[in-house]
Amino acid sequence: MTQSLAEDTAAAERLLTHGAMAVEGRLVQASNATLRCDIELEGLRAKCVYKPVAGERPLWDFPDGTLAGREVAAYLVSQAMGWRIVPPTVHRDGPWGPGMVQLWIEPDPSVDVVGLSRANDAAVRRIAVFDAVINNADRKIGHLLPVEGGHVHGCDHGVCFSTEYKLRTVLWQWRGKPLKPLALQALAKVRAELEGALAGRLAELITAEEVEATRRRVDLMLKHRVHPYPPEDWPAVPWPPM
């Protein structure tokens, strides 16, 4: 049911936006308040992740907006690229006030995520491209969510969209390598949408400067047609990497 909802984004967004939420428990390993909830609407039930703004810890290098808003912005970019990397995600009121609500994805337990993070896997390579677009400062191994059929989702996108180059990831195996044709198509698609409705929706969640920086990152990737290299003045890999 969860994976079919992940593919039917309209139904998932409706459930996440209007469904009744009941907190099941807290994910204690998360640095910010992260709650797993049951959600139900008209007989349709699922699990979701709820991150209330009230539970966010201030970050000196992400002073504007909210982490919840950045999570939703990442989902919008994922959808614009056509890759469904980020599970359906909305911004709404919940039991602890406004926050991000995202469909819970149960990863395939048979997949070795450490091995997957180091593999030359097409689905993971798409995540590397996506992370470069949103300037993800925290792509850890545990943020990869492989499901049956080979698709890989990504989660935890609260520290993205900085105007400074802060790409920090465990997925550097393609650095400097040519972008695949499908990646260039996805980049061209999101670039076009950044001149239209997508820019307006992002402007409600991140700053105008961050929207413009996203355009510039996409332009650079389309110009040079290669995966980016690690930053020289910023840690290239998050810690802990898992």
Per-residue pLDDT of the chain (242 residues), as tens digits, is: 566 888 999 999 999 999 999 999 988 778 789 999 999 999 999 999 999 999 998 888 898 999 999 999 999 999 999 999 999 999 999 999 999 999 999 999 999 999 999 999 999 999 999 999 999 999 999 999 999 999 999 999 999 999 999 999 999 999 999 999 999 999 999 999 999 999 999 999 999 999 999 999 999 999 999 999 999 888 999 999 98
pLDDT, residue 241, reads: 93
- Asked if 195 contacts 141 with a C-beta cutoff of 8 angstroms, the reply is no
18 and 41 Cβ atoms separated by less than 8 Å: yes
Residue type present at position 140: K
Dihedral angle computed from the Cα positions of residues 168, 173, 174 and 176, in that order, rounded to the nearest 10 degrees? 80
* Helical pair 122-134 and 208-224, crossing angle rounded to 10 deg: 130
pLDDT given for residue 234 in this prediction:
85
Whether 132 and 214 have beta carbons less than 8 Å apart is answered as: no
